[in-house]
């Protein structure tokens, strides 16, 4: 099995690890983590679905970007009701994706390229095909009877409370063998584990240990605030009509009708996170990244990300439709105010939301915005999740209803078209199916993606791909951007301006989020600022104290130290 990259100091010659000895354990601070959605990355056996050998085949592309790690979405045994987020066996690879030997080869190849490997862990729920649930549902007195959240019906036979599923409808499913309901915060085929049972916690940590022993460098923790539920099963309070839209939900989903105070984000989760962190601390350099979605996700992130809980956390605040300098500044400042000792992580795209270029730029967004969005998220304080295809500037794909695979989208069509539009296959070349597969892809490859394929962009020095490569390698040499503090300054309109400062560098960052040219006068403390070149974005010009930025342009300048 492959060992963990960079945990031994000094780092061995030829290991490929990017982090120098002495920094190996905190490599994740300021890291760029590239998310791979295996189904859509690269297919090597012609079945139309990406696989682990396909990831190995394309790791050179990932390494060329200059990222620090990959996060691989679930590849475990699963009936694929939610495309791998319904796990039937936490310790094995689904044959659709390959074998455990394939995973070990992937780990070894990634480490040889200096790339760390993080894997998804879905702890709060399993598939209804998991052996634990198959046993639990049989009776009320079997050894696994209390491993899931079971509850008696009300006297009239209705569910025990008013909790709703995130995917629509009530969050309870009837099991006639037990004459009880079980809880499912997501699909009915994703029953929630009962984390109030210490045996469940122990078994969960043992599954995590299996992968840490195998050599993974970190865990991305799916829906980590959903592990515990309110023991008393109290009803969630209703949400006023005017507050229902938001947090990624619209009023056509009854999940938006409640404050979710009791079905997730319970205080008992904190000791469990501390036990999880204690396990991770036995593996130097291993890290955790929690996905957090609560009624106040920023406050929960600050609570969860501490020296004795999670290493990093991200929420959905920058995964929404809201795109303005004021909103981004306000979001970051609120987290900075709440997170006094933790380390944030930011994402503007992933496998669950519309691609950022389309979401924030509309149908006419061009390559300039695509480059700027990568620069934006990589210039904030924290680590970064970069979703596959962002380096190509891919827009959201239009997937016709008859080709939809996502049960969430099928249920809410046509108001919500689901998550398939951001999950279509990676376009590698201009050939059949964009070089993704020799068979029929599980989702169609749209024509705009074929025209933006990686091979074509690699040959174009002005492409989004080469722009992103240049920016990420440039950023890696800027200590203020990787590890520095952040402080925003006032700027007009759609200009976002802030100072990043480390022990060795102080940088003023000004980003133009608009498609029109904008100017601003630099404040007095910025006199003597020197442009930092090489980022390959549309660059602003400085004349005396007047900074002029082209559409979707950027300006980075080192500041004299010691001024306000």
Sheet with 541-543, side-by-side order of all strands: 518-521, 546-549, 541-543
On whether both 412 and 274 belong to a single domain, the answer is yes
pLDDT of residue 21: 34
On whether both 263 and 289 belong to a single domain, the answer is yes
24 dihedral zone (left: phi>0; alpha: psi -120 to 50; beta): alpha
Apex 37 CA angle, 32 and 40, nearest 5: 130
Structural domain boundaries, residue 525: 484-558
pLDDT of residue 409: 87
Under 8 Å CB-to-CB from 13, ≥6 apart: which residues? none
> In whole angstroms, what is the distance from residue 347 CA to residue 33 CA?
10
Task: Decide if 506 contacts 480 (C-beta within 8 A).
Answer: yes
- Please give the structure tokens belonging to residue 396: 């959201």
Nearest to 65 by CA among 102, 114, 25: 114
Query: How does strand 180-183 pair with strand 150-151?
Result: antiparallel
The 10 Å Cβ neighbour count of residue 364 is 8
pLDDT of residue 19: 40
On whether both 283 and 429 belong to a single domain, the answer is yes
On whether both 357 and 420 belong to a single domain, the answer is yes
Continuous segment of H or E residues that includes residue 482: helix 479-483
Residue positions annotated with a catalytic role: 222, 291
Into how many domains does the chain fold?
2
Q: Tell me if 168 is assigned to some domain.
A: no
On whether both 375 and 324 belong to a single domain, the answer is yes
Residue 207 backbone dihedrals phi, psi, to 5 degrees: -65, -40
Q: Tell me if 8 is assigned to some domain.
A: no
Q: Collect the ranges in the chain with pLDDT lower than 70.
A: 1-23, 247-248, 562-564
> In whole angstroms, what is the distance from residue 51 CA to residue 53 CA?
6
Q: Tell me if 239 is assigned to some domain.
A: yes
End-to-end CA distance of the chain: 52
The pTM assigned to this predicted structure is 0.95
pLDDT of residue 74: 98
Provide the CA 443 distance to its chain's centre, in angstroms: 21
On whether both 244 and 392 belong to a single domain, the answer is yes
Residue that is written with structure tokens 């404040």 in the block: 523
pLDDT of residue 564: 58
Continuous segment of H or E residues that includes residue 290: strand 287-291
Query: How does strand 32-36 pair with strand 69-72?
Result: parallel
Q: Which residue among 437, 457, 475 closes a domain?
A: 475
On whether both 377 and 426 belong to a single domain, the answer is yes
Residue 117 backbone dihedrals phi, psi, to 5 degrees: -120, 120
Q: Which residue among 442, 475, 508 closes a domain?
A: 475
Domain of residue 466, CATH code: 3.20.20.80
Provide the CA 401 distance to its chain's centre, in angstroms: 26
In SS3 terms, 360-388 reads as HHCCCCCHHHHHHHHHHHHHCCCEEEEEC
Task: Decide if 441 contacts 420 (C-beta within 8 A).
Answer: no
On whether both 456 and 546 belong to a single domain, the answer is no
Q: Tell me if 272 is assigned to some domain.
A: yes
On whether both 314 and 420 belong to a single domain, the answer is yes
What CA–CA distances, in Å, run from 360 to 61, 282, 387?
26, 42, 15
On whether both 446 and 497 belong to a single domain, the answer is no
Q: Tell me if 270 is assigned to some domain.
A: yes
On whether both 451 and 488 belong to a single domain, the answer is no
Q: Which residue among 456, 475, 494 closes a domain?
A: 475
- Please give the structure tokens belonging to residue 150: 């079971």
Q: Tell me if 247 is assigned to some domain.
A: yes
Q: Tell me if 303 is assigned to some domain.
A: yes
Q: Tell me if 279 is assigned to some domain.
A: yes
On whether both 265 and 334 belong to a single domain, the answer is yes
Is residue 106 classed as helix, strand or coil in its secondary structure? helix
- How confident is the model over 136-151, as pLDDT tens digits? 999 999 999 999 999 9
Nearest to 349 by CA among 421, 433, 416, 445: 421
- How confident is the model over 526-541, as pLDDT tens digits? 888 999 999 999 999 9
Nearest to 426 by CA among 411, 439, 445, 410: 445
Domain of residue 551, CATH code: 2.60.40.1180
pLDDT of residue 415: 83
């Amino acid at each position: 099995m492959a060992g963990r990259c960079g945990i031994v100091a000094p780092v061995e010659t030829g290991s490929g690890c990017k982090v120098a000895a002495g920094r190996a354990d905190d490599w994740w601070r300021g890291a760029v983590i590239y998310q791979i959605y295996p189904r859509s990355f690269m297919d090597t056996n012609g079945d139309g679905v990406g696989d682990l050998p396909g990831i190995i085949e394309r790791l050179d592309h990932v390494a060329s970007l200059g990222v620090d790690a990959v996060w691989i979405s679930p590849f475990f045994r699963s009936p694929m009701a939610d495309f791998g987020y319904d796990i039937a066996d936490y310790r094995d690879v689904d044959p659709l994706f390959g074998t455990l030997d394939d995973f070990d080869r992937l780990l070894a190849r990634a480490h040889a390229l200096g790339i760390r490997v993080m894997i998804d862990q879905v702890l709060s729920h399993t598939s209804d095909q998991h052996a634990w649930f198959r046993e639990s549902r049989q009776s009320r007195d079997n050894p696994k009877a209390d491993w899931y959240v079971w509850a008696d019906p009300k006297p009239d036979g209705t569910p025990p409370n008013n909790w709703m599923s995130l995917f629509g409808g009530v969050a309870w499913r009837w099991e006639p063998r037990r004459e009880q309901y079980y809880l499912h915060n997501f699909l009915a085929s994703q029953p929630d584990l009962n984390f109030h049972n210490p045996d469940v916690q122990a078994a969960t940590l043992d599954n995590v240990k299996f992968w840490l022993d195998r050599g993974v460098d970190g865990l991305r923790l799916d829906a980590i605030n959903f592990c515990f539920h309110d023991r008393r099963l109290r009803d969630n309070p209703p949400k006023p009509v005017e507050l229902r839209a938001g947090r990624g939900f619209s009023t056509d989903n009854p999940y938006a009708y409640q404050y979710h105070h009791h079905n997730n984000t319970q205080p008992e989760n904190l000791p469990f996170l501390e036990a999880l962190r204690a396990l991770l601390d036995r593996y130097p350099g291993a890290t955790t990244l929690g996905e957090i979605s609560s009624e106040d996700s920023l406050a929960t992130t600050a609570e969860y990300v501490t020296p004795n809980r999670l290493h990093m956390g991200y929420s959905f605040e920058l995964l929404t439709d809201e795109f303005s300098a004021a909103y981004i500044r306000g979001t970051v400042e609120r987290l900075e105010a709440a997170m006094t000792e933790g380390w944030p992580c930011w994402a503007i795209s992933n496998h669950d939301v519309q691609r950022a270029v389309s979401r924030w730029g509309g149908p006419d967004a061009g390559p300039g915005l695509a480059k700027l969005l990568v620069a934006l998220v990589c210039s904030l304080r924290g680590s970064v999740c970069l979703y596959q295809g962002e380096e190509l500037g891919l827009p959201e794909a239009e997937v016709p209803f008859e080709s939809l695979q996502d049960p969430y989208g099928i249920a809410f069509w046509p108001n919500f078209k689901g998550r398939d539009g951001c999950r279509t296959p990676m376009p590698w070349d201009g050939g059949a199916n964009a070089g993704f597969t020799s068979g029929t892809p599980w989702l169609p490859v749209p024509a705009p993606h074929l025209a933006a394929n990686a091979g074509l962009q690699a040959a174009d020095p002005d492409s989004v791909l080469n722009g992103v490569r240049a920016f990420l390698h440039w950023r890696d040499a800027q200590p203020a951007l990787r590890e520095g503090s952040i402080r925003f300054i006032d700027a007009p309109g759609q200009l976002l301006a802030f100072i990043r400062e480390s022990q060795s560098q102080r940088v003023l960052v000004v980003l133009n989020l608009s498609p029109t040219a904008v100017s601003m006068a630099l404040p007095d403390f910025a006199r003597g600022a020197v442009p930092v070149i090489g980022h390959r974005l549309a660059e602003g010009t400085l004349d005396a104290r007047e900074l002029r930025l082209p559409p979707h342009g950027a300006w980075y300048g080192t500041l004299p130290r010691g001024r306000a």
